[in-house]
């Protein structure tokens, strides 16, 4: 309960401090009233015919002349602000009464909730990030010629990747592309440097399906050709990508490797975004996560598309979309990406 | 091992008397190779195996007491060998701690060697890399006591195909004593994954690991006429290889033969008929160079992949052939008591001049994007064994040794410098800020991303199926497209034997599978390429497929009452209309259209500006039955390209009405044969342009209306862009609409 001033202080007139104190108490009591009848009781108590406001008016009447002006202002303020508090509280109590009529805990009724497949989410994100660096998206067919998939990419005629064990041939001289690199060739055949493209797409290899292999998978290919493009540019751009995609502190590591279409060639790893490189389950305690291959475009590739390798250099990289999706989203088995189980899809 | 006796109660167990240097113990053992006089690792009572799996206790096996355990190599964590007890050299005294026998703990590095670096398939090759990294001199084993002099007697080796076998050396050794090789050699071989066999074979393998040059030792007494012929296999010729499998050879294969028959598949595996035996005395040691492509095809054909074929396939060093032979001869003299007979037979072409590569240092720095001093680069070249020649200032000139066939051009040298200097030293600068005006060309991917977002916003979940599918699944939905399908000649399985010609079959299967997983509803879409054979080859078409089942469009709580065909069809139609509108397209016209997998009369085609963009169907009963789906399923298939045409177009502002509108309703009874579209068309034709909107708000069927008829009600909104319409004007318009409905559709207008 609020402090109540003892009645019968008629001879002991209220001073200005007491009026203000009373006002504070009245507003608090009004705000705390739980229903309309409690509110009305409080209103009568303070503003009613026999309410406390009468004490104030009495004090005003009895006050010396030099204090009348000040006490008059306080009396007015008391009446106005207490009345405003009553009105506000009444509004609140009335509107609460009008919405309390139904069960607000019932389930919501908007049934539409869609999700994006993790693979296309990663592709769109990669396109967006490289878009920030001025890369345009390029596209090519799934069914390719050996020229675009192998020959122009400096892959020797007897290279093991051409074996029917590693490539789906369609029997009419065409094949299902084994990587998105043929898009590089198509782009370079159609335009002159500088070239900055990114080519996401589906690829195919006759791999027996297991937790990390799928005969049908997606890659994102990147190509940047200009004057004096270096391994450092490659590392810088991949670092930018990795930090945008995986997290702000991710670093890139190069390891020497060999691909027919790049010289020098590297494999690149991301430092583990989960443990920051200290070692954890995700990175198999190594602190690093293997991503894919990259390198400086081999002069023989430029020759195949008619670029002058004395004027231009370029870098190219690939990345496995499913692999990044699995690492980033914690998906344990690549097959889950193609099972299309709504219990999985709903999560992304 | 003092003695071995058969266990009285178990055929496969032996009771052994073992001397541990102090006392004699009884140990029961199950290994097949235990024999009196042998030396074996013994775990005494109280010992724990390295993996912690077992602490040896005194025990009883089938009634015989045992005081320890004799160990196989795998039980000691030394190799994967569990074929028998680990045999130790008989030179060790009983009771020697095993740690002394096997030597200090070792570290095994597993290296992934890229196919361009066959020189690194050897210890010397790796040592050369390390020498360059640490800038230390490379030390190869010194060879003494083996003559390099060439034999003039060429009858020992005859090469019939000098392209396939460009170099062949043979050394003859006599007085060979076959036995176990030294423990250190066995250990190193085992750690490299090669099983120790006997000193002669082990030495050839050991030198292969050292040098990367595969070697082969023949028992010369088993060679007809004691000589070898390098030739193509004859058609139908057969041979048993060392792994005891029998092969039929053909003329694409190169063999080493004696005077009569093949004794080895060149570069792949030796034959069982000429192998080193315990009683072998005279050895012909082969070290040769075989054509990589030929070894590869032979190895594939025979299904034999060996340490030897692996190295020849990637290219052995033709100039290293004799050195490896000399090194093996030295070890045979040292560890097999052998004596050389005569000089080395070396059949080879003239040594080719070494390749030279020249170029500016600056290009190397430019490609790496890092500053490395000329001097440092030169130092790296030197330590990698490249011959550094004089060159003009700012340039290098190199002589490339034969073991580095991968170095052909100046760009090939960049990796040498980057690798040795350290790829970690390459910086990761901020991306170059270049604005490419062509970046604006990303229209199609942006439109496609929008399409996906809109579909998600409409409540659909995206799926992704393989591009491969089975004929059987395609047939279930549509046999008619068989001639246009694109089969995969060598599929991984029958389930993946053809490229998909439509997304609908896998969508149907996906819905069915989720149904089987107790999903009560699903609203899915997939965007993917389909493949069909056209007149000019295979055409790839990107399509959008939408699949619905269950009460996906129901907003109320009613999830249990059956979904009606009409209901799910209209949900699908509504969402396609919303999709098209959001993608900036005009409202489509929709016409009935047969679809192979549709229920009779429940399939339509969408057109925009007269161009078909796809179909919507309810899946027919027989197809649904395959997945036990009893309730209706809606499947739509649309072409993606037309959906993207207007997605990014800028919309132009249209005035919103400045004057109030007047709404008039019309309710009527029409025959079931009159469609909603008929009614809309008649209304539009009869009304002036002031008719701005028509909305259906009621449909009713029932006995009160009569069989074959239904009651429908519409709200029509009239508005003028120039002034406020009067009630009279609106009534006039509305009356002409009603008149037309009566006249053209025989509608009974319900007044009041
Ligand atoms: Zn980690």
| Residue B334 and residue B263 in one domain | yes
**pLDDT under 50: residue ranges of chain A:** 1-11
Residues 263 through 302 of chain B touching chain A, CB cutoff 8 Å: 293, 296
CATH code of B171's domain: 3.50.40.10
**pLDDT under 70: residue ranges of chain B:** 433-441, 752
- Give chain B positions within 8 Å (CB) of A253: 423-424
Which among A49, A1, A38, A2 is positioned nearest to A23, based on CA atoms?
A2
Element (H, E) at B487: strand B486-487
Residue B655 counted as domain residue = no
Residues A118-345: name the CATH superfamily: Bira Bifunctional Protein; Domain 2 (3.30.930.10)
**Nearest chain B Cα distance for residue A305, angstroms:** 18
Cα–Cα distance, A203 to A188 (Å, whole number): 20
Residue of A170, A224, A293, A325 to mutate, testing the B interface (most B Cβ within 10 Å of its Cβ): A170
Q: In chain B, whose CA is at the least distance from the CA of A193? A: B436
Element (H, E) at B131: helix B123-134
CATH code of B25's domain: 2.40.50.140
CB nearest A340 (choices: B465, B492, B529): B465
For residue A256, the CA-to-ligand 1 centroid distance in Å is 22
**What tokens appear for A50 in the block?**
């026999």
Cα–Cα distance, B574 to B589 (Å, whole number): 13
Cα–Cα distance, B514 to B511 (Å, whole number): 5
B732-741 pLDDT tens trace: 999 999 999 9
- Give chain B positions within 8 Å (CB) of A252: 428
| Residue B65 and residue B167 in one domain | no
For residue A288, the CA-to-ligand 1 centroid distance in Å is 7
| Residue B318 and residue B412 in one domain | no
Residue B365 counted as domain residue = yes
| Residue B376 and residue B455 in one domain | no
> Residue B602's domain spans which residues?
443-643
Is there a contact between B368 and B422 (Cβ–Cβ < 8 Å)?
no
| Residue B85 and residue B230 in one domain | no
| Residue B583 and residue B685 in one domain | no
Asked if B466 has any chain A CB less than 8 Å from its own CB, the reply is yes
Domain count, chain B: 5
Residues of chain A with CATH 3.30.930.10: 118-345
ipTM score of complex: 0.81
Query: What pLDDT shows up at residue A6?
Result: 47
Q: Residue B48 has what DSSP assignment?
A: B
| Residue B470 and residue B613 in one domain | yes
Give a three-class secondary structure readout of B503-549.
Answer: CHHHHHHHHHHHHHCCCCCEEEEEEEEEEEEECCEEEEEEEEEEEEE
Residue B633, number of CB atoms within 10 A of its CB: 29
Cα–Cα distance, A316 to A300 (Å, whole number): 14
Strand B748-750 with B662-671, pairing: antiparallel
Domain-terminating residue out of B313, B347, B381? B347
Residue B407 counted as domain residue = yes
pTM, rounded to two decimals: 0.80
For residue A188, the CA-to-ligand 1 centroid distance in Å is 38
| Residue B739 and residue B595 in one domain | no
CATH code of B685's domain: 3.30.70.380
Residue B436 counted as domain residue = no
Query: What pLDDT shows up at residue B436?
Result: 64
- Give exposure, B560-594, as e/b (b: 16+ Cβ within 10 Å): eeebebebbbebbbebbbebbebbbbeebeeeebe
């Amino acid at each position: 309960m609020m402090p109540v001033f003892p009645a019968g202080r008629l001879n002991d007139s209220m001073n200005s401090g007491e009026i203000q104190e009373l006002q504070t108490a009245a507003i608090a009591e009004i705000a705390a009233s739980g229903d309309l009848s409690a509110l009305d009781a409080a209103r009568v108590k303070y503003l009613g015919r026999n309410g406390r406001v009468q004490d104030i008016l009495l004090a005003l009447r009895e006050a010396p002349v030099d204090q009348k002006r000040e006490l008059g202002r306080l009396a007015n303020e008391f009446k106005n602000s207490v009345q405003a508090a009553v009105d506000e509280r009444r509004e609140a109590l009335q509107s609460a009464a009008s919405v309390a009529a139904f069960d607000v805990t019932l389930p919501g009724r908007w049934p539409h909730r869609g999700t994006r497949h993790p693979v296309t989410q990663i592709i769109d994100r990669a396109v967006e990030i490289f878009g920030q660096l001025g890369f345009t998206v390029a596209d090519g067919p799934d069914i390719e010629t050996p020229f675009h998939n192998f020959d122009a990419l400096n892959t020797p005629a007897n290279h093991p990747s051409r074996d029917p064990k590693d490539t789906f041939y369609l029997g009419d001289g065409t094949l299902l592309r084994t990587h998105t690199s043929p898009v590089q060739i198509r782009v370079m055949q159609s335009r002159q440097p500088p070239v900055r493209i990114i080519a996401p797409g589906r690829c195919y290899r006759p791999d027996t399906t297991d937790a990390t292999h799928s005969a049908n998978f997606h890659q994102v290919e990147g190509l940047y050709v200009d004057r004096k493009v270096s391994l450092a540019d490659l590392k810088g751009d991949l670092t930018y990508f990795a930090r945008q995609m995986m997290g702000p502190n991710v670093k890139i590591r190069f390891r020497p490797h060999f691909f027919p279409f790049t010289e020098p060639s590297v494999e690149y790893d991301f430092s583990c975004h989960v443990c920051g490189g200290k070692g954890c389950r995700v990175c198999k305690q190594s602190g690093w996560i293997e991503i894919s291959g990259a390198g400086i475009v081999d002069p023989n590739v430029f020759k195949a598309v008619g670029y002058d390798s004395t004027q231009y250099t370029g870098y190219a990289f690939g990345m496995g979309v499913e692999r990044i999706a699995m690492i980033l989203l914690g998906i344990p088995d690549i097959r889950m990406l193609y099972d299309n189980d709504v219990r999985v899809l709903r999560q992304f | 091992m003092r003695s071995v006796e058969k266990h009285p109660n178990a055929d496969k167990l032996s009771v052994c008397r073992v001397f541990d240097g102090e006392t004699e113990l009884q140990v029961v053992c199950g290994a097949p190779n235990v024999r009196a006089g042998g030396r074996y690792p013994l775990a005494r009572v109280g010992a724990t195996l390295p993996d912690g799996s077992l602490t040896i206790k005194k025990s009883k096996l089938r009634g015989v007491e045992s005081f320890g355990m004799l160990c196989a190599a795998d039980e000691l964590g030394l190799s994967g060998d569990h074929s028998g007890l680990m045999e130790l050299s008989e030179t060790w005294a009983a009771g020697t701690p095993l740690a002394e026998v096997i030597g200090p703990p070792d570290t095994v590095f597993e290296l992934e060697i890229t196919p361009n670096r066959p020189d690194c398939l050897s210890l010397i090759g790796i040592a050369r890399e390390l020498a360059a990294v640490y800038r230390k001199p490379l030390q190869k084993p010194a060879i003494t006591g083996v003559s390099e002099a060439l034999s003039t007697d060429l009858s020992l080796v005859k090469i019939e195909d000098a392209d396939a076998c460009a170099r062949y050396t043979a050394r003859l050794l006599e007085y060979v004593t076959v036995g176990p090789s030294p423990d250190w050699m066995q250990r190193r071989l085992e750690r490299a994954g090669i099983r120790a066999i006997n000193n002669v074979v082990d030495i050839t393998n050991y030198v292969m690991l050292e040098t990367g040059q595969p070697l082969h030792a023949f028992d010369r007494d088993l060679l007809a006429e004691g000589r070898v012929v390098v030739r193509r296999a004859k058609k139908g010729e057969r041979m048993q290889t060392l792994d005891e499998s029998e092969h039929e050879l053909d003329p694409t294969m190169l063999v080493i033969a004696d005077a009569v028959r093949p004794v080895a598949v060149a570069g792949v595996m030796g034959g069982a008929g000429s192998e080193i035996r315990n009683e072998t005395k005279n050895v012909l040691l082969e070290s040769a160079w075989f054509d990589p492509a030929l070894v590869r095809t032979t190895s594939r054909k025979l299904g034999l992949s060996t340490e030897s074929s692996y190295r020849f396939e990637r290219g052995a060093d033709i100039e290293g052939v004799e050195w490896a032979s000399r090194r093996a001869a030295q070890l045979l003299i040292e560890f097999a008591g052998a004596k050389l007979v005569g000089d080395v037979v070396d059949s080879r072409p003239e040594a080719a001049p070494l390749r030279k590569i020249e170029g500016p240092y600056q290009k190397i720095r430019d490609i790496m994007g890092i500053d490395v001093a000329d001097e440092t680069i030169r130092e790296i070249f030197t330590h990698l064994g490249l011959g550094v020649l004089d060159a003009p200032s700012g340039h290098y000139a190199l002589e490339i040794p034969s073991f580095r066939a991968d170095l052909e051009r100046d760009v090939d040298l960049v990796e040498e410098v980057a690798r040795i200097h350290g790829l970690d030293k390459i910086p990761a600068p901020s991306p170059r800020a270049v604005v490419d005006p062509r970046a604006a060309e990303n229209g199609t991917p942006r439109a496609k991303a929008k399409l996906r977002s809109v579909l998600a916003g409409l409540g659909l979940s995206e799926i992704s199926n393989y591009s491969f599918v089975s004929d059987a699944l395609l047939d279930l939905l549509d046999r008619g497209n068989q001639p246009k399908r694109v089969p995969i000649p060598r599929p991984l399985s029958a389930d993946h034997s053809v490229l998909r010609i439509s997304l609908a079959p896998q969508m149907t299967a996906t819905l069915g599978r989720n149904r089987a997983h107790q999903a009560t509803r699903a609203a899915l879409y997939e965007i993917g390429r389909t493949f069909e054979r056209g007149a000019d080859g295979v055409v790839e078409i990107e399509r959008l497929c939408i699949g619905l089942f269950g009460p996906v469009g129901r907003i109320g709580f009613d999830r249990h009452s059956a979904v009606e065909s009409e209901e799910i069809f209209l949900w699908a139609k509504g969402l396609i209309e919303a999709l098209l509108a959001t993608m900036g397209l005009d409202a489509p016209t929709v016409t009935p259209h047969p679809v192979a997998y549709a229920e009779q009369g429940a399939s339509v085609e969408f057109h925009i500006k007269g161009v078909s963009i796809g179909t919507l169907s309810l899946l027919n009963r027989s197809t649904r039955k395959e997945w036990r789906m009893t309730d209706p399923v809606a499947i739509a298939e649309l072409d993606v390209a037309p959906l993207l045409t207007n997605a990014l177009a800028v919309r132009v502002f249209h005035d919103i009405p400045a004057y109030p509108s007047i709404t008039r309703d019309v309710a009527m009874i029409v025959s079931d044969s009159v469609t909603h579209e008929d009614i809309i068309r008649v209304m539009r034709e009869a009304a002036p342009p002031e008719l701005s909107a028509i909305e259906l708000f009621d449909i009713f069927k029932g006995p009160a209306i009569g069989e074959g008829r239904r009651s429908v009600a519409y709200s029509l909104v009239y508005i003028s862009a120039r002034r406020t319409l009067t009630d009279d004007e609106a009534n006039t318009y509305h009356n002409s609409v009603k008149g037309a409905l009566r006249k053209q559709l025989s509608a009974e207008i319900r007044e009041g």
